[in-house]
Amino acid sequence: MTTSAAAPLRVLLVDDHAMVRSGFAMVLSVEDDIEVVGEASDGLQAIERARESRPDVVLMDVQMPRMDGIEATRHLVADDLGHVVIVTTFDRDDYLFDALQAGASGFLLKNAGPEQLLDAVRAAGRGHALLAPEVTRRVIGRMAGREAAPERPEPEALARLTAREREVLVLLGRGLSNGEVATELVLGEATVKTHVSNVLAKLHLRDRVQAVIYAYEAGLILPTED
């Protein structure tokens, strides 16, 4: 393993409750591949700490004094100060929708288990994204627009994809992981990763969250599908 590959993911914890930050720190600090590099109690402090510590991932609460997590996410993403994962108590569509628009790379509720938290940090730190399963379809359906007609013309950009890449995009839209896509299409997981990277590059998408949204907006997936 190279030194670069072994470098731990640097994480900034942002929450106005010290006990929440301490709890997250306890879960994250025992992992060899993760390092907690700072804490902040509101959005303004989060921006300051991010500029100082240059984290790979920011775990961001929503409701905080001075500046909330949504506005802080906009600033962090605009200034390339880390991938933001929203971690909130409030299971509200407006928070999740606004955070997606602000550029967040993932969403978790605070009742998520430690493994989900670790998965989200690792996914975001490597440029991927993770959505809590219980909110994925509801939020993406809202963003794509439930009243959009399925018969609308496909975006011209879809023509850039190969038939296999299009299949991968559809499965991403249904929320499948790389491993699940590999099983569905009888492919190796490394091959699936290559297809996912090609899809993101050809469609000029930032991450898997945008790929899911694109699949809905392009009419490849309907919000009412199971």
Higher pLDDT, 116 or 84: 84
Domain 3-141: homologous superfamily in CATH: Response regulator (3.40.50.2300)
59-63, 97-101, 179-183, range with the lowest pLDDT: 97-101
Q: For residue 79, what are its two tokens?
A: 């200034």
204/207 Cα distance (integer angstroms)? 9
* 69, pLDDT greater than 50: yes
CATH class of 148-217: mainly alpha
Contact at 8 Å (CB) between 169 and 123? Answer: no
Q: What is the largest CA-CA distance in the chain?
A: 51
16 pLDDT higher than 50: yes
Report the alpha-carbon distance of residue 82 to residue 92 in Å, rounded.
24
Amino acid at 226: D
Q: How large a percentage of the chain has pLDDT more than 70?
A: 83
The answer, yes or no, to whether residue 19 has pLDDT greater than 90, is: yes
Give residues with Cβ within 8 angstroms of 115, minimum separation 6: none
Q: Delimit the CATH 1.10.10.10 region(s) of the chain.
A: 148-217
Length reported for the chain: 226
pLDDT at residue 11 tops 50: yes
Q: Give yes or no for residue 128 having a pLDDT over 90.
A: no
pTM of the model: 0.69
- Statement: residue 149 has pLDDT above 50: no
- Residue 147 confidence (pLDDT): 47
